[in-house]
Chains A and B, each alone.
Chain A
């Protein structure tokens, strides 16, 4: 319950911090950190326009997408406090429920019958498919290391001791940040700020959504970001007492947001065809983590 509340809290300002960071390093003042929230509130109040091409899929998909993200958040623990749902192998459930949301966002994009949305859907389907193994192997490696298979158990049993484990922790943080960037369609895979139909992935899938549905999708994106932030935070706060863990959680979220902002400021987006290669690289990093864990456990004979 605590984790749910904290992730929701973090989601309120997470994207705002990313945008603020980007604004500051470009010499802007930029909108306040609650601007994304204001946008969502405005959308919740507004009416909608639906295309006559679309079917009921288009109407239900945003709700299912949102629900899937919330459901996934329920699984994520924060520090010592378990997620609302926690069982062995819950990260399989986590990944699959997110995949369900993605399935619906993809078909809702195809429902519009527009080639832009089709383009976005095609990209999203491919890249998220490619990114999945990296997540599973990273989590699998930690499952191997700790002997547990639920988020909460893995993180609480995780303790860093040797140099190798520090290296692994860094690597895993990197992989998770990158997965978070891919899943949220941010740089260097996708650039949500370009506002050009032809170059975007996620943004172009929701070109036709409006009003409440669009608000749901945008807020789900904020939640998703904060959720990955929470997973990353767990690396650092899993064994700390609550009084220390809570501020540290927000500190990690803050840093993650700043890093995301900086990452988006100082490099150009990849060429679309290079994205697949980049994601492969990520998978090999996760394999590196796996071998590291083997090394750590002395299974390399």
Chain B
């Protein structure tokens, strides 16, 4: 095996990454994925003196390492695909194809990903996406989106249906594409980049900004103090609780269970208002900054947090008890939208979507950062892969996170977290930062040039892996169950489209 083995948040010189022949590159990485404990966290290309350097990062969950290798290929080359061997690579290769025009000979699903403004084939228009079709005249298609019924983000879902039954779903994204990765290069100031990281996905502000802050600090050789690490861990767990509670509310809404929808909705409000008390924004925007924080955590904040959690827990427990025993709700949740273990492994799901299908993927446990090594996180695993499991997982994770927060507050470090000036980013380096957001692993990846300037910035939201899981989950389900399936995954459009 010819890899560079790195750890989470490690900055390494670009030159230390082995550059392989494409055939070897392919063979090596597809073999690596044969085992369930490894998955691809990042596979992308960037321009390197007229050629495209492909960089593949495979995470090994057992050893907490990341195996990095690369290959140099020409822009318009036709290559054999990884996907033919491991479907988990399909999205990454589609992205490379879209950005650089590299064609894959045996890719079964070589379709556009997000229609970036600088795509290699401008003739690929959002209106002419090559949907999978079934010619049978008795079937019909349903196209939902980009503008959905609810107040949510744009994306197009194309169902092939037989009456109420979904035979096939294909998801077309890219409507939210606003050029985030390019703006990371264009915007020069750290604050601008931080704000950009916060604007990747509004529901995962803490996740993405922690990923960015950790990456940037590593790149600048800065070691965050315990206070900063503590605040980041706390923010991540609080965000998890808040979003999960909101999702439980939304799940109840989608099955028209008003009581659950209203009560969970009400319970979410103090959670996100707590962020406002802490940092002045309900979504934790402005809370996390590389090198320091304007909002150091203190005793009085801790007191308020405990108070809030004490009020939250009994009501939350009572409502969960009621919801998860109500026959009409269970009838909608159980056996709806199943993703089997085999499917989950094959397509490489991450985060929550993986953990409900019995697949143990959790960066907090496998590549821990900040305070997670202290917490000794044990992921909660469910096995049925249906909407019920996803709802139950949320319930259990909320309880687990509350436990973590209580534990953290008992051991609160009290060092100053006021911003310190950071050094210059290391030149010609690669940094990879993995963070477990509430949805799953977030991966930020930066490549710097000779003067330490950013030459490539890559963001990967867990949704990037998991959208396909949704498409598979709803097959042969009723179309009226789609909204609840969709919400049970609660994937990000903006995090995918960038």
Interface contact A196-B259, CB-CB below 8 Å: no
| In the assembled complex, A115 has its CB within 8 A of some CB on chain B | yes
Which listed residue (B163, B164, B255, B478) contacts A268, Cβ 8 A? B255
Interface contact B332-A198, CB-CB below 8 Å: no
In the complex, chain B residues whose CB is within 8 Å of the CB of A188? 328
Which listed residue (A22, A115, A195, A268) contacts B328, Cβ 8 A? A268
A238–B14 alpha-carbon span in the complex (Å): 89
| In the assembled complex, A49 has its CB within 8 A of some CB on chain B | no
A194–B257 alpha-carbon span in the complex (Å): 10
Interface contact A194-B258, CB-CB below 8 Å: no
In the complex, which residues 245-280 of chain A have their Cβ closer than 8 Å to any Cβ of chain B? 264-274
| In the assembled complex, A118 has its CB within 8 A of some CB on chain B | yes
Interface contact A269-B326, CB-CB below 8 Å: no
Question: CB-defined interface of B325-349 with A at 8 Å, one 1/0 digit per residue?
Answer: 0101101100000000000000000
Among the 9-residue stretches B95-103, B351-359, B480-488, the one with 4 or more Cβ atoms under 8 Å from chain A is B480-488
A26–B479 alpha-carbon span in the complex (Å): 28
| A105 → B minimal CB distance (Å) | 19
In the complex, chain A residues whose CB is within 8 Å of the CB of B164? 119, 272-273
A193–B141 alpha-carbon span in the complex (Å): 25
In the complex, which residues 115-167 of chain B have their Cβ closer than 8 Å to any Cβ of chain A? 140-144, 149-150, 161, 163-164
In the complex, chain B residues whose CB is within 8 Å of the CB of A198? 142, 144, 479-480, 482-483
| In the assembled complex, A197 has its CB within 8 A of some CB on chain B | yes
Interface contact A268-B262, CB-CB below 8 Å: no
A272–B253 alpha-carbon span in the complex (Å): 16
Interface contact B256-A272, CB-CB below 8 Å: no
Known A196-B483, A272-B164: A115·B262 in contact at CB below 8 Å = no
In the complex, chain B residues whose CB is within 8 Å of the CB of A208? none
Interface contact A274-B331, CB-CB below 8 Å: yes
- Chain A: CB-nearest residue to B255: A268
Known A268-B257, A271-B481, A273-B164: A119·B142 in contact at CB below 8 Å = yes
| In the assembled complex, B252 has its CB within 8 A of some CB on chain A | yes
In the complex, which residues 234-291 of chain B have their Cβ closer than 8 Å to any Cβ of chain A? 252-259, 261-263, 266
Interface contact A194-B262, CB-CB below 8 Å: no
| A110 → B minimal CB distance (Å) | 12
**A-side interface mostly:** loop
| In the assembled complex, A244 has its CB within 8 A of some CB on chain B | no
In the complex, chain A residues whose CB is within 8 Å of the CB of B143? 115
| In the assembled complex, A191 has its CB within 8 A of some CB on chain B | yes
Question: CB-defined interface of A6-49 with B at 8 Å, one 1/0 digit per residue?
Answer: 00000000000000001001111000000000000000000000
| A14 → B minimal CB distance (Å) | 19
- Tell me the count of chain A residues lying within 8 A, CB to CB, of chain B: 31
Which listed residue (B150, B258, B326) contacts A196, Cβ 8 A? B150
In the complex, chain A residues whose CB is within 8 Å of the CB of B150? 195-196
Question: CB-defined interface of B369-411 with A at 8 Å, one 1/0 digit per residue?
Answer: 0000000000000000000000000000000000000000000
| In the assembled complex, A230 has its CB within 8 A of some CB on chain B | no
A188–B149 alpha-carbon span in the complex (Å): 21
A274–B329 alpha-carbon span in the complex (Å): 13
Interface contact A27-B262, CB-CB below 8 Å: yes
| In the assembled complex, A122 has its CB within 8 A of some CB on chain B | yes
| In the assembled complex, A165 has its CB within 8 A of some CB on chain B | no
In the complex, chain A residues whose CB is within 8 Å of the CB of B163? 122
Interface contact A26-B259, CB-CB below 8 Å: yes
Question: CB-defined interface of B431-450 with A at 8 Å, one 1/0 digit per residue?
Answer: 00000000000000000000
In the complex, chain B residues whose CB is within 8 Å of the CB of A54? none
Interface contact A264-B256, CB-CB below 8 Å: yes
- Chain B: CB-nearest residue to A116: B142
In the complex, chain B residues whose CB is within 8 Å of the CB of A193? 256, 258
A270–B254 alpha-carbon span in the complex (Å): 11
Which listed residue (A26, A28, A196, A267) contacts B254, Cβ 8 A? A196
Interface contact B256-A191, CB-CB below 8 Å: yes
| A144 → B minimal CB distance (Å) | 35
In the complex, which residues 174-205 of chain A have their Cβ closer than 8 Å to any Cβ of chain B? 187-188, 191, 193-199
Which listed residue (B141, B149, B261, B329) contacts A195, Cβ 8 A? B149
A268–B143 alpha-carbon span in the complex (Å): 26
In the complex, chain B residues whose CB is within 8 Å of the CB of A271? 331-332, 478, 480-481
A271–B256 alpha-carbon span in the complex (Å): 11
A289–B438 alpha-carbon span in the complex (Å): 54
| A218 → B minimal CB distance (Å) | 17
- Chain B: CB-nearest residue to A118: B140
Known A118-B140, A196-B149, A274-B331: A268·B480 in contact at CB below 8 Å = no
| B352 → A minimal CB distance (Å) | 22
In the complex, chain A residues whose CB is within 8 Å of the CB of B263? 26-27
| B1 → A minimal CB distance (Å) | 47
Question: CB-defined interface of A116-135 with B at 8 Å, one 1/0 digit per residue?
Answer: 10110010000000000000
A274–B164 alpha-carbon span in the complex (Å): 12
In the complex, chain A residues whose CB is within 8 Å of the CB of B483? 194, 196, 198-199
Which listed residue (B258, B266, B329) contacts A22, Cβ 8 A? B258
Which listed residue (A115, A265, A270) contacts B331, Cβ 8 A? A270
Interface contact A270-B328, CB-CB below 8 Å: yes
| B153 → A minimal CB distance (Å) | 15
| A43 → B minimal CB distance (Å) | 19
Interface contact B254-A266, CB-CB below 8 Å: no
| A284 → B minimal CB distance (Å) | 20
Interface contact B481-A197, CB-CB below 8 Å: no
A116–B482 alpha-carbon span in the complex (Å): 14
| B393 → A minimal CB distance (Å) | 19
A116–B258 alpha-carbon span in the complex (Å): 24
Known A119-B479, A194-B253: A269·B258 in contact at CB below 8 Å = no
In the complex, chain B residues whose CB is within 8 Å of the CB of A269? 255-257, 328, 332
A116–B331 alpha-carbon span in the complex (Å): 24
- Chain A: CB-nearest residue to B481: A271
| B256 → A minimal CB distance (Å) | 4
A33–B480 alpha-carbon span in the complex (Å): 30
In the complex, chain A residues whose CB is within 8 Å of the CB of B261? 26
Which listed residue (B144, B149, B328) contacts A267, Cβ 8 A? B328
Query: Interface centre among A196, A199, A268, A269, by most B CB within 10 Å?
Result: A268
Further pairs besides A118-B140, A119-B479: 11, Cβ < 8 Å = A22-B258, A26-B263, A115-B142, A115-B161, A187-B256, A198-B144, A199-B483, A267-B328, A269-B332, A273-B478, A274-B331
20 residue pairs bridging A and B, Cβ less than 8 Å apart: A22-B258, A25-B259, A26-B259, A26-B262, A28-B262, A115-B143, A188-B328, A191-B256, A194-B483, A198-B479, A198-B482, A199-B254, A199-B256, A264-B258, A267-B257, A268-B328, A272-B164, A272-B480, A272-B481, A273-B478
> Which residues of B line the A interface, CB within 8 A?
140-144, 149-150, 161, 163-164, 252-259, 261-263, 266, 326, 328-329, 331-332, 478-483
4 shortest interchain CB distances as A-B pairs: A26-B262, A191-B256, A269-B256, A268-B257
> Which residues of A line the B interface, CB within 8 A?
22, 25-28, 115-116, 118-119, 122, 187-188, 191, 193-199, 264-274
